[in-house]
Amino acid sequence: MGQFLPKPNTEKHGAHGAGNGLRFGLSSMQGWRVTMEDAHTAVVGLPGGRADWSFFAVYDGHAGSRVADYCAGHMLDHILSSLGGSGGGSVKDDIRSGFLKIDVHMRGLPEMQQGPDLQLEGPGPQEGPQGPSSNRRQQEADRSGCTAVGVLLSPDHLYFINCGDSRAVLYRDGRVSFSTVDHKPYDAGEMERIRNAGGHIMNGRVNGGLAVSRALGDYEYKGVEGKGPTEQPVSPEPEVREWKRASGEGDEFVVLACDGVWDVMNNEELGAFVRSRLQLWSDLETVCNAVVDTCLHKGSKDNMSVVLVCFPGAPKVSKEAQRKEKELEEFLETRVGV
Ligand code: MN
């Protein structure tokens, strides 16, 4: 954290696809940061009799990328195994169980007992004469964590999932219809949990260190004796909101993005930006590339990731919009000169 490159790495990693009546695109860029710690998942058609379901997520890692990468690879499996359970719980409860299970599971992984890949971090742990060996192992354990934001889509419902300060926004009927709420340490409910667990908030951070109050991993904030997993200073519990999908063409699109995007664009601005680009280009990866390029130009210093999921009601390419854009480009070229 806090380390920047002399110039940004502007290489973009993207993808796009379609299925289940959806189209999606995604793009990510390392930007000014020394490392890329974001990860993402996009799956259209889920196993286990859920071929008409889909899942998208963005994971924003910190203090390394190990937890973010693991979640990108395995979170969906943990949610699906919960969904398959015979408990008869709601989908919302099953998503929550999936989060709690993966957080316990990751803690026990051998690679989590090892330090992160450290080429880019500062000097290693101090070798004090006083530390017992278990203490040293503790210091060397992976300290990474990640936020998670996602949307699980069934034929009838949207399940918005949030843990941390990445954000999902639903655009419906031409406006922002729903947005997840970021989990910050200074929010009243979060503060109460942190304090009840013996933690404190300093400079807006949990124990003066972590800027989010919910995350996967971050086990050094999850060791308070006598407190359950969702009562720790940092909790892996997601907030899950269930929405009935709009009939007809009401639902336009969903954007999932990390704070590297939201730091420089608010929900309305990003919606307007995406809406205008959807009228120019049919390829959603191109639209997402434009989002991260624009965020970099607007001054984002963080890794940037965006996933765009379009419903049949999304704005369509318009000859008129393309003509106006071309006119504007030609105008600007004459202004800049040869
Ligand atoms: Mn970030």
Residues 150-204 have pLDDT tens digits of: 999 999 999 999 999 999 999 999 999 999 999 999 999 999 999 999 999 999 9
Please state the pTM of the whole predicted model: 0.91
Output the CA 84–ligand 1 centroid distance in Å.
Answer: 32
Query: 172 CA to middle of ligand 1, Å?
Result: 26
Other C-beta atoms lying within 10 Å of the C-beta of residue 286: 15
CA of 210 to the centre of ligand 1 (A): 12
- What pLDDT is attached to residue 124? 43
At residue 116, the pLDDT reads 61
Task: Compute the distance from residue 196 Cα to the ligand 1 centre, in Å.
Answer: 27
CA of 221 relative to ligand 1 center, distance in Å: 19
Of residues 126 and 219, more confidently modeled = 219
CB 31 within 8 A of CB 294: no
Eight-class DSSP state of 181? P
Query: What is the predicted pLDDT for the residue at 89?
Result: 76
What is the pLDDT averaged over residues 30-36? Answer: 98
Rounded Cα gap, residues 251 and 166, in angstroms: 21
Per-residue model confidence (pLDDT) at position 312:
97
Distance (Å) from CA 336 to ligand 1 centroid? 35
Q: Where are the alpha helices (DSSP H) in 246-318?
A: 259-262, 267-278, 284-297
What is the Cα–Cα distance from 98 to 293, expressed in whole angstroms? 34
Residue 250 CA to ligand 1 centre (angstroms): 31
In this predicted structure, what is the pLDDT of residue 338?
Answer: 52
Give the per-residue pLDDT at 120: 41
User: Percent of the chain, pLDDT > 70?
Assistant: 90
Band the pLDDT of 137: cuts 50, 70, 90. very low
C-alpha of residue 59 to centroid of ligand 1, in Å: 9
Q: How far is the CA of 260 from the centre of ligand 1 (A)?
A: 5
- Name the residue type at position 300: S
Give the C-alpha separation, 147 to 210, whole Å.
Answer: 11
Residue 126 pLDDT exceeds 60:
no
- Across the chain, mean pLDDT equals 92
Find out whether 128 and 261 touch, Cβ atoms under 8 Å: no
Segments in 120-266 forming alpha helices (H): 133-140, 188-196, 259-262
pLDDT at 113: 85
Residue 121: is its pLDDT beyond 60? Answer: no
How far apart are the CA of 1 and the centre of ligand 1, in A? 10
- Residue 268 Cα to ligand 1 middle (Å): 20
Position 130 scores a pLDDT of 43
| Nearest CA among 226, 200, 228 for reference residue 213 | 200
- How is residue 250 written in tokens? 């009401």
CA of 259 to the centre of ligand 1 (A): 5
pLDDT range class, residue 85, cuts 50, 70, 90: low
